[in-house]
Amino acid sequence: MTVEFWTILFVAISFLLYLYIGWRSRVKDSKGFFVAGQGVPAIANGAATAADWMSAASFISMAGLISFLGYDGSIYLMGWTGGYVLLALLLAPYLRKFGKYTVPDFVGDRYYSQVARLVAVVAAIFVSLTYIAGQMQGVGIVLSRFLQVDITRGVVIGMVIVGFFSILGGMKGITWTQVAQYFVLIVAYLIPAFAISWKLTGNPIPQLGFTFSNIAQDLNGIHESLGFGAYTSPFTNKSMLDVLFITIALMVGTAGLPHVIVRFYTVPDARSARYSAAWALLFIAILYTTAPALSMFARYNLIDSLNNRTIEEVRKLDWVNKWENVELLKFEDKNGDGRLQFTPDKQTNELDVHRDIIVLSTPEVAQLPPWVVALVAAGGLAAALSTASGLLLVISSSIAHDVYYRMINPGASEAKRLLVGRITIGLSLIVAGYFGINPPGFVAQVVAFAFGLAAASFFPVIVLGIFDKRTNKEGAIAGMLAGLIFTATYIIGVKFGGMSPWFFGVSAEGIGTVGMVINLLVTVVVSRFTPEPPAEIQALVEDIRTPSTNIEDLPVS
């Protein structure tokens, strides 16, 4: 049976499962829609958090970028995993004890200001739309290759599926769907990794095969013979400063991502938030310790399969033709010798491989059975859809709860709040679909922009809001605006305006670190030169950090 048959079978089964869970989890009240009724068990929330956090960037794109960047690609491993630890230990339990629905809800109440709430809403929407563009792009890439439809149709199919269980079930439907999606994506990631590790190293455990075989040395030799820097050599593709800044931006951006933070509002209490964070870290580590090995195996197989092969040989490879049909793999015999050369020089390089196809194509390159190839496609879709649904909920709750209910119509009925939330998800999905069809970069690059924006807007005001009772509304508003405007201007200027990276060569992916520092300094300085917060707010901050013997949280407003 063909790859297409197995793909249709696995994708259909997984989609039907997601739709069934969404239907069974449909809700009729705002608490169920926005925070899943705050009754999700810790282990289930851990799996859902892992699926929500490990997006298409983690599943589809991260190993691809590591394959091309080598050592420098570790920025994604260090930044994203380090950031999750930072979030789990430093922020999550305190935010859960505060007892609100959303990050703008926390900002608005902690800084006793509707203006602060509105700025946080704008930041949450901006970050989420940037992030979700990468997810919808990932959906389009998977479906375009494995179902042989164009990327536009692939994105539309993904929009329909994620819209169904998000609109019906809200956070409750999203949570239980993400639990299923985690197990789909992790199985899909591990099976080909085990198989390829066995074929290349004789060890079925990727982490051990990666560490105790000679494949790294072999790949270094191949790289150097082709004119690339050694695969394991540092700073061959990015400067040391840029590596540092991107890593920090990804780390503090993770700790400021609204769609991850909101997951800790779905558990019963602060103790459960800590346990769910620990479970999520375990679930995340399974994939993230496998990714470096898979990226190295993929790089080795790709070069071995294509470099210095004749055009005739390459044309006989079915997987090459399929990826070429969707224009994610291109080659050109520039020197007319009938063979393809893979080089670091754009003028002489004859192979153009899209970074986002590395993980998806690796089972085919390694000549694994068609059902394994199809399973990877289903896993990629699970990763993209799980995160897309969480992001849609952030946008919906920001508008329906923080703007409509908390600012425009505090007396709104449950039915009206749910209606506004569902309409917002639908409209957000249309915007996200557009950016998925017209993306500004590779999936992981687009997601990195979102992390930078989250770092520059949310992280300082959340940390100071928990640990510094002197921080006031004037400081928070000024800091968020300064950090977000600087970072967004730099990213847009560099990526779309032709501006050179003027801040010591730091890339658009790393500039969020500078934005975060600007936000922090502006917030602290302005807070010290303006009136201190009311006494009740300072008492509230003290209470958030005080351990409670009965683990009862503050009431949800």
Structure tokens at 147: 């179902």
Q: How far is CA 321 from the centre of its chain?
A: 30
Half-sphere exposure of 495 (CA within 13 A, CB side): 19
The whole-number pLDDT of residue 173 equals 75
DSSP-derived 3-state class of residue 413: coil
Name 351's Cβ contacts closer than 8 Å, sequence gap at least 6: 306, 307, 330, 331, 340, 341, 342
Residues in the chain: 557
pLDDT for 61: 78
The token pair that represents 350 in the structure block: 């004859």
Distances (CA, A) of 420 to 159, 340, 412, 426, 557: 19, 55, 10, 10, 18
Q: Backbone dihedral region of 240: left (phi > 0), alpha (psi from -120 to 50 degrees) or beta?
A: alpha
CB 455 within 8 A of CB 468: no
The gap from C-alpha 160 to its chain's centroid, in whole angstroms, comes to 20
Catalogue all structural domains in the chain, each as residue range(s) with its CATH number: 27-300+368-545 (1.20.1730.10)
List the structure tokens of 333: 């015999």
How remote is the C-alpha of 459 from its chain's centroid? 17
Q: Find, among 382, 406, 282, 383, the residue nearest to 34 by Cα.
A: 406
Give the integer Cα–Cα distance in Å for 197 and 297.
Answer: 7
What is the spatial distance between Cα 131 and Cα 395, in angstroms, rounded to a whole number?
A: 11
Report how far Cα 471 is from the mean position of its chain's Cα atoms. 30
User: What is the per-residue pLDDT for 477?
Assistant: 94
CA atoms within 13 A on the CB side of 166: 28
Instruction: Name every residue whose Cβ is closer than 8 Å to that of residue 247 and which is 6 or more positions away in sequence.
Output: 75, 78, 79, 82
Please choose, from the candidates 311, 301, 316, the residue with its C-alpha nearest in 3D space to the C-alpha of residue 332. Answer: 311
Give, for 166, the enclosing helix (H) or strand (E).
helix 151-201
Separation between Cα atoms, residue 204 and residue 200, nearest integer Å: 9
> What's the token pair of residue 382?
């699970």
Q: What is the 3-state secondary structure (H, E, C) of 256-291?
A: CCHHHHHHHHCCCCHHHHHHHHHHHHHHHHHHHCCH
Tokens of 260: 């991850």
Phi and psi at residue 79, to the nearest 5°:
-65, -50
3-state secondary structure of 216: helix
Distance CA 460, CA 479 (A): 8
Query: From CA 119, how far away is CA 269, in angstroms rounded?
Result: 28
In angstroms, the Cα distances linking 184 to 289, 306, 375, 384 are 18, 30, 8, 12
* Residue 525 structure tokens: 């300085």
Helix (H) and strand (E) counts for the chain?
26, 2
Q: Is 411 exposed, middle or buried (0-12, 13-18, 19+ CB in 10 A)?
A: exposed
pLDDT along the chain (557 residues), means of 10: 84 83 75 74 88 78 84 85 81 77 83 90 82 78 76 82 73 81 90 92 91 90 88 87 92 78 78 84 90 90 88 85 82 86 86 82 88 88 79 81 84 83 85 77 64 87 92 95 93 85 90 95 96 92 70 41
Q: Are 523 and 476 a contacting pair, CB within 8 Å?
A: yes
pTM value is 0.81
Q: What is the DSSP letter of 12?
A: H
Q: Distance between CA atoms of 323 and 53, rounded to whole angstroms?
A: 28
